[in-house]
Amino acid sequence: MTVFFDILLFISSILLIVGLRKLSHPESANNGNILAAISVGLGIIVSIFYPMETQNNNYLFIALGIIIGGIIGLIAAKKVAMTAMPEMVSLFNGFGGFSAALISLIWLINHNSSGGYADLSVVLFNLFLGFVAFTGSMVAFGKLSGKLKDNHLKIPYASIVNITLLILAVVLIGVFAYQGKLTHVHLILFTVLSIIYGVTFVAPIGGADMPVVISLLNSLTGITAAISGVMTDNKLMLLGGILVGSSGIILTLLMCVAMNRSLVAVLFGSFSSAKAGETAN
Amino acid sequence: MSEIIQFISNNLNMIYILAFAIFLGFEIISKVPTVLHTPLMSGSNAISGLILIGAILLIRVTPSDNYITLILGTLGIVFGSINAFGGFAVTGRMLEMFNKKRKK
Helix (H) or strand (E) holding A28, with range, is none
Separation CA A188–CA A272 (nearest Å): 35
| Shared-domain flag, residues A5 and A73 | yes
Per-residue pLDDT tens listing for chain A (281 residues)? 789 999 999 999 999 999 999 998 888 899 999 999 999 999 999 999 988 887 788 899 999 999 999 999 999 999 988 888 888 999 999 999 999 999 999 999 888 878 888 889 999 999 999 999 999 999 999 988 888 777 777 777 778 888 899 999 999 999 998 888 888 899 999 999 999 999 999 888 877 788 899 999 999 999 999 999 988 888 999 999 999 999 999 989 988 888 888 888 787 764 444 444 443 43
Contacts of B16 in chain A (CB under 8 A): none
| Amino acid making up residue A76 | A
Neighbouring-strand partners of residue A114: A181
Domain boundary pick from A30, A53, A79: A79
- Answer yes or no: is pLDDT of B78 > 80: yes
| Shared-domain flag, residues A219 and A150 | yes
| Shared-domain flag, residues A130 and A228 | yes
Question: From the CA of B55, how many Å to the nearest CA of chain A?
Answer: 6
Cα A2 to Cα A14, A38, A52, B53, B91: the distances in Å are: 19, 21, 9, 17, 33
- In the three-class reduction of DSSP (H, G, I as helix; E, B as strand; rest coil), residue A110 is classed as helix
Q: What is the pLDDT of residue A279?
A: 39
Contacts of A228 in chain B (CB under 8 A): 51, 54
Separation CA A1–CA A54 (nearest Å): 16
Domain boundary pick from A79, A103, A130: A79
Separation CA A178–CA A114 (nearest Å): 10
Q: What is the pLDDT of residue A52?
A: 84
**ipTM score of the complex?**
0.89
Q: What is the pLDDT of residue B85?
A: 95
Q: Using the beta-carbon criterion (under 8 Å), do A33 and B75 form an inter-chain contact?
A: no
CB A137 within 8 A of CB A129: no
CA dihedral (A122, A126, A127, A128) positive or negative: positive
| Amino acid making up residue A140 | A
Structural domain total, chain A: 2
Quick: pLDDT tens for B42-56. Answer: 999 999 999 999 999
| Shared-domain flag, residues A67 and A177 | no
Q: What is the pLDDT of residue A74?
A: 94
What is the DSSP-derived secondary structure letter of residue A25?
S
| Shared-domain flag, residues A97 and A60 | no
Q: Which of residues 61-100 of B touch A (CB under 8 A)?
A: 61-64, 66, 68-70, 72-99
Label residues A184-208 b or e (16+ Cβ within 10 Å = b): eebbeebbebbbbbbebbbbbbbbe
Quick: pLDDT tens for B6-38. Answer: 878 888 888 888 899 899 888 888 788 888 888
Q: Which of residues 44-63 of B touch A (CB under 8 A)?
A: 44-63
| Shared-domain flag, residues A139 and A272 | yes
Separation CA A131–CA A98 (nearest Å): 6
| Shared-domain flag, residues A15 and A124 | no
Provide φ and ψ at A133, rounded to 5°: -60, -40
| Shared-domain flag, residues A75 and A89 | no
Domain boundary pick from A79, A98, A126: A79
Label residues A127-136 b or e (16+ Cβ within 10 Å = b): bbbbbbbbbb
Sequence ranges of the domains in chain B: 1-31, 34-104
| Shared-domain flag, residues A96 and A72 | no
Find the closest chain B residue to A86 by CA distance.
Answer: B38
| Shared-domain flag, residues A133 and A233 | yes
Q: What is the pLDDT of residue A214?
A: 92
| Shared-domain flag, residues A70 and A108 | no
Q: Using the beta-carbon criterion (under 8 Å), do A250 and B39 form an inter-chain contact?
A: no
Query: How many A-B residue pairs are in contact by the CB < 8 A criterion?
Result: 348
Question: From the CA of A269, how many Å to the nearest CA of chain B?
Answer: 23
Q: Using the beta-carbon criterion (under 8 Å), do B88 and A118 form an inter-chain contact?
A: no
Q: Which domain holds residue A199?
A: 84-280
Separation CA A228–CA B73 (nearest Å): 13
| Shared-domain flag, residues A51 and A73 | yes
